[in-house]
Structure formats: C-alpha cells, structure tokens
Amino acid sequence: MDQSEVMERVVKILTPWVKDEAALANVSMETNILEDLKVNSARLVDVVIAFEDDFDIEIADEDVDQVNTVGDAVNLISSKL
C-alpha cells in the first residue's frame, strides 16, 4: 500500500471527528490533528481503534503519544503494514 493510499484512508477515518471542515478540505501531511482539525482530544483513543480495525494492525500506547500530525499517523501505520 503506498503512502497516498494510507493517507486517503487516514483522512477518511478522521472525518467524523473533525470539527474544522475547512482544514479537512486542505489536509496535508503537516496538518495537526488536534490543533488544525480540532478533533476532541478525548476521542483520539477512538481514532486509534478505528486505525487498528481498518488497517488490521496493533498500535501501542507509547506510539500514540508520538502522533501529532496526519503525517505522523500515516508514517506510523505504514511502518506496521
């Protein structure tokens, strides 16, 4: 799976939790999940579960702590595929 496909699926998974639609429309690898997309920080655990289910991977808690941007998520997921 190439990076653009992972990116596309990550954005799709994030979409229900995104509060800033404009930021979502201009999403890039540098987009910050909490600050730019305004995802409620409490819901990050739900996003991670959705990543795990969608990509059939396991994500450790300490890995989650390193994810700030969409790119961080894409790279983390890609490393486990």
Partner 1 sequence: MSATGRPRRVVVTGLGVIAPNANGVADFELALRKGRSGIKHQESMVEAKFGCTVAGSPEGVDELCQSTFTEEELLAMNMNHRYASLAAIEAWQDAGLERPARDSDEVDWDSGAILGTGIGGMDTIAEKVVPLTNAGKVKRMGSTSVEQVMASGISARISGQLALGNQVTTNSSACSTGTEALVMGLERIRAGRAERMLCGGAEAASHYIWAGFDAMRVLNRNSNDAPEKASRPMSASAGGFIPGSGAGVVLLESLDSALARGARIWAELVGGGVNCGGHRMGGSMTAPNPTSVQRCIREALADAGVGPQEVDAINGHLTATMADPREVASWAKALEREPGRLPPITSTKSMIGHGLGAAGGLEAVASVLMVARGFVHPSINCEDLHPEIEPHASSIPHELLELPDLDVLVKAGFGFGDVNACLVFRRYKA
C-alpha span between 75 and 55 (Å, rounded): 13
The answer to whether 6 touches 40, Cβ cutoff 8 Å, is: no
How many positions of this chain bind partner 1 (CB under 8 A)?
11
Question: Is there binding between residue 1 and partner 1 (CB under 8 A)?
Answer: no
Site string (11-50) toward partner 1, x via CB under 8 A: ----xxx-x--------------------x-xxxxx--x-
| Interactions with partner 1, residue window 47-66 (CB under 8 A) | 49
Whether the Cβ atoms of residue 48 and residue 59 lie closer than 8 Å to each other: yes
Q: Under the rule (CB under 8 A), what is the footprint of partner 1? A: 15-17, 19, 40, 42-46, 49
